[in-house]
Structure 1
Amino acid sequence: MGVMVLTVPLAALLGAGTAFGLLLLAVGLTQRDAGPVDLDAATLDTESWLSRFASARGPVDRRRVALCLAIGVGVGVATRWPVAAALAGAGAWVLPAIIGPDRDHARRVARIEAIATWTEALRDNLSAAAGLEQAITASAIESPEPIREEVTRLATRLQRSWRLSDALRAFADELADPTADLVVAGLLMAARGSGGQLGDVLGELAASARAKVASRQRVAAARNRNRTSARVIVGATLAMAGFLIVLNRDYLAPFDGVAGQLVLLAAGGCFAASFAWLSRLMRDRDTARILAGVAAPAKSEAVPT
């Protein structure tokens, strides 16, 4: 008798407020400044960790935020549970990256294959070109699509009389890929006159890149089994919850009170922890770069003509 029961208007209001708070948090974490801000030393010293974290985030996808907000409000109205509204909105935000197709993997594999193709083209151009810079410029004409923009900028920098080493370091910084770092390292050694058999080295690097693609494909196949298991768990849980809400609402009556909401929050926390662990298992760990942060400042890279 002493259990407080949430009415429909109150539950809808709480769910909408919770979802709106999640929206504001997402916008705050993903907001980027339009331009550089001149900060003094005192401001930098008092900058919070949240601000530093937000500065590393990409631009917010407002349509995705609106969809998550709509799902959270809809679940809140249907269940009259503010915790369910918050969990639904958060789940709609994070679950597609865990149980959906791994588009990042396909993009990374395509870039590695493109790097291998470009390396082979550069090796072939070395035999006909007058030098390494001419070979790089010629390779930009038919460079693979995933890295065409970066290769074109590299060729443009060389045509604008940038030092070869500086242009290559900027190229590696733009690609931000361990395989590209190996290729650029070989080219940097050649630029310093210690490349030796550069054509053979580039051929071996291209073969290594293609072997890495095959290895990543095998890893992706193993990860797909984890994604399938996660899809089955999520689908079965949502189907059971929907079935009980529609056909046997009385069975879920204990969740209408404050204690029930706390239990639901604990259950949602267990699911969140398990999916966070699963996401960590599926995370790409081949991200160590040997040329990280080596791009020279733009103002010092150009050489006057």
Structure 2
Amino acid sequence: MTSWPVAGILTAVGVLTLPGLLGSDRGAARRTERLEALATWTEMLRDTLAAAAGLEQAVLATAGIAPAALKHELQHVARALRSGRPLPGVLRDFARSADDPLADVVVAALVMAAEQQTSHLSRLLGELAEAVREQVAMRQRVSAGRASVRTGIRVTVIVTLGMAVGLVVLNRPYMAPYDSLSGQAVLAVVGALFAAGFVCLTVIGRLDEPVRLLGPAAQQEEAVAAGKGDLR
């Protein structure tokens, strides 16, 4: 429409990137929901253990009534336990499927209790559930702040695009300097500045995840240590 190649490139980049940047942060919402489910399940385990049930029985009892966000993973845990698999291995599989640093912390406490008969597990689970809920509250505050930033970006983008389209359609002679090579270079610089601003906003709004206790790197280290032990 404009015969400006730079405008075509900027439009393609904007169509591919702006919906994810300006739309709702569904990934953060799903992770917050899973953290809330993890806290609820941890409290279920604590309460079930307080009723003098064993750890494996508590996991089986709570898997069927777990929150929806973790129901699939916990149902897999229950099926694995009923098939005769040892509890520590099943819990490690759950940590892999949950794919969350806080889930690793809860699973690490459960694995330690299953392997070494740790005392005061109920109290520990209560403290872990409280820590997870604090993390959820923090993420909700961050999400609220990011929502206001996204609103500001939306207004900026809409006003800028509206002015550009209006000038091109209603007052094309005013935009005639962009028909030249130097005008296209200026347009490229303007587009690069907008892109740099969006990248900075994305980096600022990103949350750094803590190191996973039971992630792939930790499991690889355990496997290497086990292999060295076998050689000895």
Q: TM-score by structure 2 length?
A: 0.88
Gaps of at least 5 residues in structure 2 are 221-232
Is the partner of 1:134 in helix, strand or coil? helix
Is the partner of 2:116 in helix, strand or coil? coil
Is the partner of 1:79 in helix, strand or coil? coil
Match of 1:181 among 95, 104, 109: 104
- With over 3 angstroms needed to count, the CA separation of the structure-2 counterparts of 1:295 and 1:144, relative to structure 1, is farther
Partners of 1:289 and 1:232 in 2: how far apart?
A: 38
User: How far did residue 284 of structure 1 move?
Assistant: 2.1
Partners of 2:50 and 2:162 in 1: how far apart?
A: 63
Compare relative contact order (CA 8 Å, sep 6+) and give the higher one, 1 or 2. Answer: 2
Match status 1:268 vs 2:197: no
Equivalent residue runs for 1:196-275 within 5 Å? 196-275=119-198
Aligned residue pairs total 219
Per-residue CA deviation, residues 162-193 of structure 1 (Å, 9 max, x unaligned), is 22211111111111112111110110110122
Match status 1:165 vs 2:88: yes
Equivalent residue letter for 1:226: V
Match status 1:117 vs 2:32: no
User: How far did residue 217 of structure 1 move?
Assistant: 1.3
Per-residue CA deviation, residues 262-281 of structure 1 (Å, 9 max, x unaligned), is 22122111111111111011
Partners of 2:73 and 2:3 in 1: how far apart?
A: 52
- The answer to whether the 8 Å contact 1:170/1:295 transfers is no
1:3 aligned residue:
none
Per-residue CA deviation, residues 34-85 of structure 1 (Å, 9 max, x unaligned), is xxxxxxxxxxxxxxxxxxxxxxxxxxxxxxxxxxxxxxxxxxxx22222211
1:139 aligned residue:
62
Equivalent residue runs for 1:44-63 within 5 Å? none
Larger helix share, 1 or 2: 2
Gaps of at least 5 residues in structure 1 are 1-77, 297-305
RMSD value, Cα:
1.7
Equivalent residue letter for 1:112: L
User: How far did residue 145 of structure 1 move?
Assistant: 0.6
Partners of 1:130 and 1:219 in 2: how far apart?
A: 38
Identity of aligned residues (%): 47
1:108 aligned residue:
31
2:3 aligned residue:
80
Kindly report structure 1 stretches of 4+ aligned residues shifted beyond 4 Å.
none
